[in-house]
A = this chain, B = another copy of it.
């Protein structure tokens, strides 16, 4: 397969090509009946076991790490991400997005190992339904604050830092919020998700947000048999349910007012 021309240069080649996945979710904690819950941004991490499958001591054992694994020669890192996500956490069918490559020499004591990093957003309900393929202590949802405090394997702290930066950006610029929410949701839920990840004053003020939201081209009010569908899940007053449609908004710094 590898040609003579290429081999003759005696290049040193990588010792491994890994695919890692930062799985984010927002968990809700009830704040009393008929009140919007308190939300926390969390990341799914796994604890590296002391031994590998063959019983040999595992590198970075005992530390927390992003789920992931080595890419096989007949698949892409993207496919590896799908596969490992399902194998290790039992979740499937989520939108996976590449956001960076980590290839600093020395990042992995085993040798020259590259990591192709992805992120995934899962809504709470989705994660609840996951199969428990490993015992619970292995997989944990940690708040971002906690995750960045504990002892993380390899350069996963840097990877998580970057991943957070990317989801913030995508949350502001795309309809990423949809992946944190159920199909149909109430405006306060959307607002809660946005505020958990972003820090945009124009989202904070209720009146402005509630007036603008219904006009956003990527949101639509849900109706059922001709009349608007409402929900009481977080308020006594029935609140209108919304869903995301397929509109892909784009913005530009050269039009409309900016904040920075």
Residues of A at the B interface (CB closer than 8 Å) are 1-6, 8-9, 11-17, 52, 54, 56-59, 70-77, 98, 100-101, 103-105, 109-112, 114, 116, 172-175, 194, 198, 200, 202-203, 209, 212-213, 216-218, 247-260
Contacts and interface: CB of A to CB of B under 8 A. Distances in A.
B255 A250 contact: no
A248 B57 CA distance: 47
Given A172-B251, A173-B173, A253-B249, A17 B114 contact: yes
B255 A212 contact: yes
A79 to B, nearest CB: 10
Contacts of A213: 254
A79 B37 CA distance: 47
A105 B73 contact: yes
B260 A217 contact: yes
Nearest to A191: B254
B255 A200 contact: yes
Contacts of A212: 254-255
Given A13-B13, A73-B12, A251-B173, A110 B3 contact: yes
